[in-house]
Structure 1
Amino acid sequence: MLKNIWMNKKQRKMMGFSTVVIIVFIISLSFLLTQKGKDIVNTEVNNYLHEISQQTSYKVTQRVETNFSYLATLSNSLAYLDESAYEAYLYDAYEGGAFEWIGTVDHKGMLKVKNHPLKDVSQVTCVAKAMHGQVSVSDKLLKIFDEKGAVYAVPYKGKDNNISAIVGWIPPETMKLLLNTESFSGTGFSHIIAKNGDYILHSKNKNALIDGDNFLNTFQQKAEITSSMTFQKFCQDIANQKKGTITFKVNGDNMRTLTYTPLDNCDWYLLSIVPSTMYSQNIQNFISLAIAVLALGIAVVFFIFIAFLLYTSNKKNKEITNIAYIDPITQGFTQVRFEKELLDRAKDFVPYTFISLDLRKFKLINASFGSENGDKVLRHVYVCIKKHLAKDEFVTRVNADNFNIYLHTIDEGKIKERLHSIADEINKYNQERQLPYYIPLSCGCYIVKDDAQELIVVRDKANIARKTNKNIPNYYLSNIVFYNDLEHQMLLKEKEMENMMEKALDEEEFIIYLQPKVSLKTGKIIGSEALVRWDSPEKGLIPPDDFIPFFEKNDFIIKLDMYVFEVVCKILRKWIDEGKIVHPISVNLSRNHLHHPNFLEEYRKIQQKYEIPDQYIEIELTETVVFENLEMLKTIIDEIHKYGYKCSMDDFGSGYSSLNVLKEIPVDILKLDRVFFSSENDKRGEDIVETVISLAKKLGMETIAEGIETIPQVELLKSMECDAIQGYVFSKPVPVDQFETLVQDDPEMMSV
């Protein structure tokens, strides 16, 4: 740039151009650039402060959760000890640990701690919560015996009826280790406060103003807020568990930036504070330097300014990178860094390929060789992928054994060649092994040619391609599927189903399977759910996941629902006429019916045609229907009840369920989705299930658990007083004749 300006001056012979004008121009330009630089620096400071706050918040939250888990473990252990051994056991448990003391609380709220007098703690909020079944930590430092500290309390669920809660006390000096994070060369620091502003922990940093026991009082007295935020709004945010940033002055000129963040599992707040003016002086020095070297020309000034910004930015970015951008296992990009690189390239968009890659059956490696060797495999895979990437291509480990790759290559053939080469590189180590152990890859590719697509959409399409097996010929070490292939095949498949569906309905290719519902009180079958399958002469048995979504999209589901309902009525009529045991059958109601007023009248006509008693019919509404139009749904449920049918909510918990909405919908039966039971030994999940069952009972609803596959799950649900179970543990969905055989002798499916 300097060269161009100098050439223009020579060519136009502007030797007489006023030095004063040049100086004014440079000063004005320097001023504008300096202001821009301040904005950039402020943004970087805020971003850095947010990263530090997140890290510190995570560390504090983890420590709180660890303390809760420790007390909960002790609580469970007491159930196996004699009462005489409690005190010694708890004393040994906290000796040398984070807790200064640990004691038990009886049902009267009396705290018992070894070497301490009995203490009434029934009015301590966190203890009261624990006595009522909720883990809790004090919202401020409490003085139980001699000093103030943090009080943790968890409920006691053992057999000893004399104990209600386990309580532990941690002194402030022990907790201060959580606030040893300083930043900006030791000038940044953090506090932890309660909602009312009382200090839980305060920094010992020399720049921290500690005056009294309440941060908000000190802040109001000594701080002058310079941002648009008001002190009242700041206090409201603290009270309402919101996070934010505020800038203020101390002693008239010490500008500081404060980020406030609520902590999980407690009513505490993390405050992170840094001096906002740290970089301002450097910028001022730069301006002086720019004026001093005016003779060297505009290019030199710009160069120094840019170099300064790069220096300060790189310095902070290096700290942020170490915290947030480096994967701890591969030492490569984290997902955050990967997405940032992609977003940066979106400004100058060029087509690219997004690849979702994972290692098939990686869990076997962890199970067979241990997680440490599993991590070595992940590092090996990362290095091999990285080796085959061009300069401006990159890879990240998203989670576990799942990797995302950004490639410039957009030719499908070349993409396959590159992925085959990566697979060969990963498995090359087998050449030196007598017994090879191959690591095959599953790859989903999406070629991005439209810069308007959001990153989350791009990633989802690549993931869909990876997870879908479309029988495309593949190299044995790398299964590669392109999203475009899926779209094309889906369109062909949907067109084929569209051509077949009317004929299939006319020729009764849609058949009904019944899955039993078993009472946990009697152990006997009390009903069933009608599930539809498509038995095509050309395609064989087609599962519902392949055709139901398409039928919902083209509204054919309405005809199919009516067909299923009529077949169910025929089955019930047959059982009644033959004098067999008759149980209610539930049928699913698609959301498409909601757009057709009075559709239930058609159901009523079919029921009356076959003279089916009302009590044998149950209508199931999926959770998604419930949340689409609540008012309309309440009207429909009233209509269902008017006809004498029962109404159930299916798949509760599969989406964004709300316990609050249960009181709004007068269903008779609540069916808990299999998602609640996908993880064994999930204490939090079990607590949620128990809460839902209890709430449903209070609202007069029956509860049925779906997708149950193991006897321990049955026993757990029985202890929670769930009414019935529907799942493979008793029977998979079976044809009608098999169901009739199953129920003909009214057998007990389980011992009660």
Structure 2
Amino acid sequence: MSIEQKPLFPSILLIIVSALLFCGLFLHFVQVLRDNLRYEIGITLRETVRQGVNTLHAVTEGQLRTLRFIAARVTDKALRDPEKTVAMLRSMQKLRDDKRMGFVLADGRVFTTDGETMRTASGLWRASLEGREQISDTIRDCPDGKPVNLYIVPMFQDNEPVGALFSVMPHDDFARHLVMTFWQDEGFSFLIKKDGSVVAPSRRVEAAGITNYIATLAALPQTGHELAARVQRALDEGETEFLHYRTTGNRYAYVMPVGINDWSLVSVLPAHMAEDRLRSVMVGTGMLGAVQILCILAFIWHINRVQHNASTRLWQQIYVDPLTDGCSYARFLMKASEQLTELPGRWALLSLDIDNFKLVNTILDQETGNATLRTLHDLLRDWADRPNELVARRTGDVFVALLPLTGRQQLEQRLDDLCSRILQTPVDENDSYRLVPSIGICLLPEYPLADTPLETYLDKSTLARKTVKGNHEQLYAFFDESMESIIRYRKSIENDMVSALAREEFEIYYQSKHAASDGRLVGAEALVRWQRNGVQVPPGDFIPEFERNGFIVNMDRYVFLRVCRQIRRWREDGLEPVPVSVNISRLHLYDPGFVERYMRMLDVAEDDRKLIQLEITESVLLENASLIKDTVSRLRAHGVTILIDDFGTGYSAMSMLKEVKVDGVKLDKSFLAGMGTPRTDTLLRSTISMCRSLDMEVTVEGVETAHEVAFLRSLGCDTLQGYYFSRPAPAAVFTAMLQEAQPHA
């Protein structure tokens, strides 16, 4: 009996169909992968070019800003005595990389630091003499024919251009900021003009022979003219263009306008960077099962990419300082702990800040303050550039540094150099404010973290810094054990705070607020004083400590309830209360139950909510704008008046008022520091006018003289507060003031 043979055709057909299906899926997968890679390369090139454009703007703006500053200082002298002005420019040139500096007057006379003549017939000079800043293309220098670039800014007198200040920079110095390599040095960038000619070539060999990019593209076979036309259209219309073409190898390129002259930046990447990846995938997909594995791997890759992006964002938030773009304080603590644990030797820990830095924001402006902090950070980073040296901004204008200790004498020499650099750092173009540092140093033992946390040493360096605060003769101090008494004092405050609150040792003082128009008593601010063992503890001793350890939350509730009781007592005694403002710590604003808790306390006290005002400091607005906005909105919805205290001393200033709506602001007394000078008077007038236009009541603190009262009244200020009217007084004394101020029948 024979066995029936099954036909092979169906099996062969199934194999062929499966193979065709696999091939189709494979080819589709390869095409999708190729498209995705091309898209990613386009994104990468676009971001690379954008970074290059940002770098170009930063470099050119830095040069122009410096020239503007110099022009403002030398214009009058240049018109009176050009030769002395040239001597000034020579001394300034020593600090710069310029080939020469000079200026052109409106009558065509040219003065340079090296005596070389300059042709003044070009459009660059005419435009600058008409009041426009200019940056030249690469030109040949008259004396030696070497390539140079010019930065030119107009010189103004009485808002009219009277000349132009220029700086001649060697082209190599100019170009090194504008060209770059990327992606493992495979990619390169260069700068071109509207006609395609190269302004600043790349250092890469592949681009060394390119003098006109459009001509180079047009010379390519097949699609060369089409590519050249696309690029020319993008240059003419100021648009971006993404290219894929073949020259000595496949290339991807991205063209983006710079926004300076008619320049555009071109970044080029070899296509084999993508093709190598594609080829490795094709080799691994020889079987149908590999498709499934690749799908799983692609899924895992996607998850990892999402996690990586999330980790990168988290890293940025935690480990990068948002103001300086340098190392954050959290990152500093982590790296410092690693180095102190792993690297042998002695170390020095520094704490640095600037005396009265808030005056930079108050007298000048917020932008100048922030720019000064960035300049300080860069200066410190350049100063502490040796191996294993760390620098970070701790908070505000406080910076910390960790340095390997080679010897105290060598460290003192470096500190002298640092102080000299800071003292010579200009803040504004008029040089109206001088930075004066205060530095504290803690020399660490050989094994510093064996039984002591790093924060303890930071506290010691901070204590040392505070001992020289305001002492312009001694700018730095080393911590010694005699300063330990301060730490013990702070610890004793912390040990006594709970029992002191239970014994009601904290007394509420009231500082009156008066109408600017006629001096009437219209309100008060509640301040806390501590009678500890019969001696009054200065608020500056215990309030910061309570803020640090969180006890300020209990203190704020205590003050709030005491004020509510006092208002009710005034009513029971037949007096008409005035609104009283109470300070609220930032810690409350992060408590989800804060609003409801305080409203319940008001309900229990049966007080009119308009009589209790809450003050929050301006610096809180920077920490979490959305949260603060929500909390303030909820409080105002309950009828509570919200005031911004210390307005003008932080880094948020006016910008946050459009986001967070409040009822009033209290201008810090530092606003009065330069009263009588045009700049300060203009600042006060514009600030008060702006706040009034936003329907906010304006209070000025620290008023001490009749002249200040009259001036602030003339500016339209609403209320005044300060020693001119009254010092902070106990409840009984303030009650007498309130009784005297009651309207008579």
TM-score w.r.t. the length of structure 1 is: 0.48
TM-score w.r.t. the length of structure 2 is: 0.49
